[in-house]
Amino acid sequence: MDRQLTKDLKPGHLFVFGLGYSTTRLSKRLMALGWRVSGTNRSEQKVIEARSIGISSMIFDQRTPLKEPEKLFSDVTHIIASIPPSENGELALLLHSDQLRDATSLTWVNYLSTPAVYGDRSGGVASEFDEPTPTSKRGERRLAAERAWIDTFSGTRVSVQIMRIAGIYGPGRSVIEQVAAGRARIIEKEGQVFNRIHVDDIGTSLIASMLRPNDKRIYNLADGNPCASGEVTRYACKLLRVEPPTPIRFEDAQLSDMARSFYSECKILETSRLRNELLVNLRYPSYKEGLRQILQDIN
């Protein structure tokens, strides 16, 4: 852990709407620094898993509002929201916006969003200064959720930040595991590139935002090496000393709706705010460093 980054971070109480891969890894880092962490999951099994590592978790969905939310949020100092919005809107705000605004200890909120709000840029650069022009339902919903979180705390002392996060990878969720299991594919679409970011660099960026809150600020979270997904897969195969899979044309690939939506847009994320304002130096500035570390940990 970056000691310089965390030495001034005083322990607080983080509440996470939607404990997932990224926020659970961050929670472990914060608990090691003396933080209390609580949050929500969608299944009883996930609740049990969260509680087993010290996170106070509870079921939360459209049919299950939080019980005694005033008491629950009474000493919460920080909130991360990562539940994908539905067609009805941002669930946490639909059910508990009043109680969240009344949370007297709350000072910082971060909404984890997606670059889909930029829409398709045909390989061009997408900056936080750009006007969002979503071209998918997913992007439209995320943009509406971003604005809802900002509007909810407008005029309060709570600082709201938005993180638009590139493709997430890390231990247990990388192309290394896919290649090793024989599940990796190379989908080729001319000119298509993606940014990525290692899960632990997301955590570091969130910690940096806690230390340097900036109300209504938007940050792109991404590495500095946008490239085609096939390049990453071939590198993983090289590390594992196996032959790469035969490429599949995008037009012929069987893809989920989510995967197809990723390939329908092409952009390169500008990340100067991450470096210059949050002062984050990525531990994994490209997929190469990240994949090498993942393989080293496995071995």
Query: Tens of pLDDT along 169-209?
Result: 999 999 999 999 999 999 999 999 999 999 999 999 999 99
Residues 6+ apart with CB under 8 A from 176: 236, 239, 240, 291, 294, 295, 298
Report the pLDDT averaged over residues 135-146: 96
For the chain, give the mean pLDDT.
Answer: 95
CB proximity list for 188: less than 8 A, separation 6 or greater: 228, 230, 247, 248, 249, 250
User: Can you give the pLDDT at residue 257?
Assistant: 83
User: Is there a domain that residue 141 lies in?
Assistant: yes
* pLDDT value, residue 1: 43
pLDDT tens sequence across 32-88: 999 999 999 999 999 999 999 999 999 999 999 999 999 999 999 999 999 999 999
Please choose, from the candidates 32, 100, 97, 90, the residue with its C-alpha nearest in 3D space to the C-alpha of residue 62. 90
Tokens of 54: 């010290």
Look at residue 234 and tell me if it is in a domain: no
What is the C-alpha to C-alpha distance for residues 197 and 220, in angstroms, rounded to an integer? 10
Q: Where does the pLDDT of residue 5 fall: very low under 50, low under 70, confident under 90, or very high at 90 and above?
A: low
In a domain, 183, yes or no: no
Q: Which domain holds residue 149?
A: 3-118+128-168+197-222+271-283
Q: Please determine, for residue 235, whether its predicted confidence score (pLDDT) is greater than 50.
A: yes
Measure Cα distances from 191 to 135, 174, 186, 227 in Å: 19, 22, 14, 9
> Edge-to-edge, what's the strand order for the sheet holding 108-113?
56-59, 36-41, 13-17, 78-81, 108-113, 159-165, 217-221
When pLDDT is cut at 50, 70 and 90, the band that residue 262 belongs to is confident
Residue 249 pLDDT more than 80?
Answer: yes
SS3 258: helix
The residue ranking higher by pLDDT, 262 or 206, is 206
Tokens 């594919």 map to which residue? 185
Q: Return the percentage of the chain with pLDDT > 70, whole number.
A: 98
3-state secondary structure of 227: strand
pLDDT beyond 60 at 148? yes
Going by pLDDT thresholds of 50, 70 and 90, the confidence category of residue 2 is low
Instruction: Please report whether residue 23 resides in a domain.
Output: yes
pLDDT exceeds cutoff 90 at 261:
no
Q: How far is CA 4 from CA 7, 174, 290, in A?
A: 6, 28, 22
In this prediction the pTM is 0.96
- Tell me the C-alpha to C-alpha distance, in Å, between residue 123 and each of 28, 120, 168, 191: 36, 8, 19, 7
pLDDT score at 173: 97
CATH number at residue 75: 3.40.50.720
pLDDT value, residue 255:
87
The number of folded domains in the chain is: 1
Residue 175 included in any domain: no
Residue 137 resides in a domain: yes
| Residue 213 located in a structural domain | yes
Identify the pLDDT of residue 153: 98
Q: Report if residue 84 sits inside a domain.
A: yes
